[in-house]
Amino acid sequence: MIKRWKFAQNGFTAQTKALTLGFIMSEKNTHIEPEWLTKKYVGNKLCRYFEDGSLQLKKLETEPATAKGDNYASVMTRINLEYTTKDSKETQSATFLLKTTFAAKDPAANLLAGYGAYTREMDMYEQILPHLAKMVRSELVDSRKMFAATVAVDRERDSILFEDLSLENYKLACRLKKLDLEHTHLVLGKLADFHAAAAVLAERKPGIFEKNYDRGFFNKHFRGFQPIFRNLLQALSRSLELNSDLKHCYQSKIDRLVYTIMDYGERSTSTNPGDFLTLAHGDLWTTNMMFQYDEQGNPTNAVLIDFQFSVWNSPAIDLHYFFTTSIQDHLRWKHQTELVQFYYYQLVESLKKLKYSRTIPSLFEFQLQFRARSFYAVFCSLISEPCMLYTGTEEASIAQGLSTAESGVRFRDSVYHADHIRDKMVLTLLFLDQQGLLDDM
């Protein structure tokens, strides 16, 4: 949610900002190139990455990798460079992406730090993803790219340097149109491999996920998002005044949810004996996956990006988040059960190939596990999705999400007063209410 890798072709412009789950992008943020980003610094990192000490950096140019307003918690810089080596005197060109923070200037810094977001993503790219990619490639015999390759992680500067996937024609899908069945199946297959590999990695390297993988959006340690969630639900309640039927049926339930959202959220992510657990991506929606296509325009691969909220938990939270925020509505309303089945069969196949030693749940048991975490869909439906689909013109910032001033209230109201969100809420509230997810739980 935090970064926007490609934007113009997908509706990600400064005019169509997305408020995503309280990660609110601000037009006030401008691209600031780090002072330490020099030819010497980049050259040293590339020498290690290519394992070639003869590499000489001849030219280095930088530019913003995302549009103004698309990114608030990190700075994404595209690095264009030219270099030579002893084996090739001809100048070669390359492009990489650098992700850095500007925590000292951003009002979300303390919030993200409380969730361990920055250190977790560095851990993922340095310690976890290379293992998972190797397991998928060698043991699941899938040569397709799984993640962006890590060039360097610099903990002193809170930065990650990785390959630029756009050079291989990877693209984002449209967050407004969402994913059709072909894209959905592709993502579920890749997600199943990711979950299977992580579960087996935990067996092979005991303790690897014990530190800093316990703080998803809901957890028992930190409630940094609570004021934002409450403010957004209050804005939803106000929007129901525009529809007497919705007000009568649901307003009191939304008003009650304002004060129970964190408790129910924590309950929905609590683990139970016998649950199948693994590393969940934690933030699986359309802008955190990129697709590669064949010449006919058919998707051939999906790559996962952005691992700041990866968490050791049930894979069901990824499924709920993905179904709610990223797939087309007819798939979400009518086909969730069969999509869970599709994912489950891929998961089981991959676990067996990787020689997972623990008990694999039956499909019935896994469907129960999925339903037991259904409240996660309330959080995603009523808070995440409306913000992700925001197309308004109000200033979107973390301060506006937290503020009780008129400007903050006006912004949050604009999220829920949009016609496409009001229309969607008619179906969304009915869908959730019929499952008892808006009642006391």
Q: Using one digit for the tens of pLDDT, what is the confidence trace for 333-379?
A: 999 999 999 999 999 999 999 999 999 999 999 999 999 999 999 99
Confidence of residue 15 (pLDDT cuts 50, 70, 90): very low
More confident residue, 110 or 261: 261
CA distance 81 to 96: 8
Does the structure show a pLDDT above 70 at 68?
A: no
Section 13-37 average pLDDT: 49
Does the structure show a pLDDT above 80 at 14?
A: no
Confidence of residue 158 (pLDDT cuts 50, 70, 90): confident
Q: Contact, 163 vs 96, CB < 8 A?
A: yes
The CATH number of the domain covering residues in 107-146+171-434: 3.90.1200
Q: Of 177, 178, 181, 200, nearest to 189 (Cα)?
A: 181
Does the structure show a pLDDT above 60 at 25?
A: no
- Sorted by where each begins, the domain ranges of the chain are 107-146+171-434
CA distance 409 to 417: 12
The sign of the dihedral angle between the CA atoms of 218, 335, 17, 35 is positive
Q: Which of 35-39, 62-66, 324-328, 402-406 has the highest mean pLDDT?
A: 324-328
Q: Of 371, 373, 385, 375, nearest to 416 (Cα)?
A: 385
Over its C-alpha atoms, the chain yields an Rg (Å, rounded) of 22
Q: Of 254, 362, 269, nearest to 320 (Cα)?
A: 269
Does the structure show a pLDDT above 50 at 273?
A: yes
Mean pLDDT, the chain, whole residue set = 88
More confident residue, 399 or 182: 182
The sign of the dihedral angle between the CA atoms of 195, 200, 203, 208 is negative
pLDDT confidence of residue 137: 97
Percent over 70 (pLDDT), the chain: 88
CA distance 167 to 313: 34
Q: Contact, 369 vs 214, CB < 8 A?
A: no
pLDDT in tens, 187-210: 999 999 999 999 999 999 999 999
Section 371-395 average pLDDT: 91
**Residue 336 phi/psi, 5° resolution?**
-60, -45
Q: How many beta carbons lie within 10 A of that of residue 105, not counting itself? A: 10
The sign of the dihedral angle between the CA atoms of 110, 382, 289, 12 is negative
Section 411-430 average pLDDT: 95
Indicate the residue type of 58: K
Lowest-confidence segment of 38-47, 64-73, 345-354 by average pLDDT: 64-73
Q: Token pair of 263, please? A: 């408790």
pLDDT confidence of residue 23: 41
Q: Token pair of 51, please? A: 């394992």
The angle formed by the CA atoms of residues 140, 306 and 374, to the nearest 5 degrees, is 80
- By CB atoms closer than 10 A (0-12, 13-18, 19+), residue 367 is middle
Does the structure show a pLDDT above 90 at 267?
A: yes
3-state helix, strand, coil in the chain (%, to 5): 45, 15, 40
Q: Rounded to two decimals, what is the model's pTM?
A: 0.89
Section 9-19 average pLDDT: 35
Section 140-144 average pLDDT: 96
Q: Of 76, 125, 131, 123, nearest to 98 (Cα)?
A: 76
Indicate the residue type of 428: T
Confidence of residue 65 (pLDDT cuts 50, 70, 90): confident
Q: How many beta carbons lie within 10 A of that of residue 274, not counting itself? A: 10
The sign of the dihedral angle between the CA atoms of 413, 400, 288, 263 is negative
Lowest-confidence segment of 22-36, 109-123, 277-291, 346-360 by average pLDDT: 22-36
Give the end-to-end CA distance of the chain in Å, rounded to a whole number: 29
List Cβ neighbours of 112 (8 Å cut-off, separation of 6 or more): 73, 103, 118, 224, 308
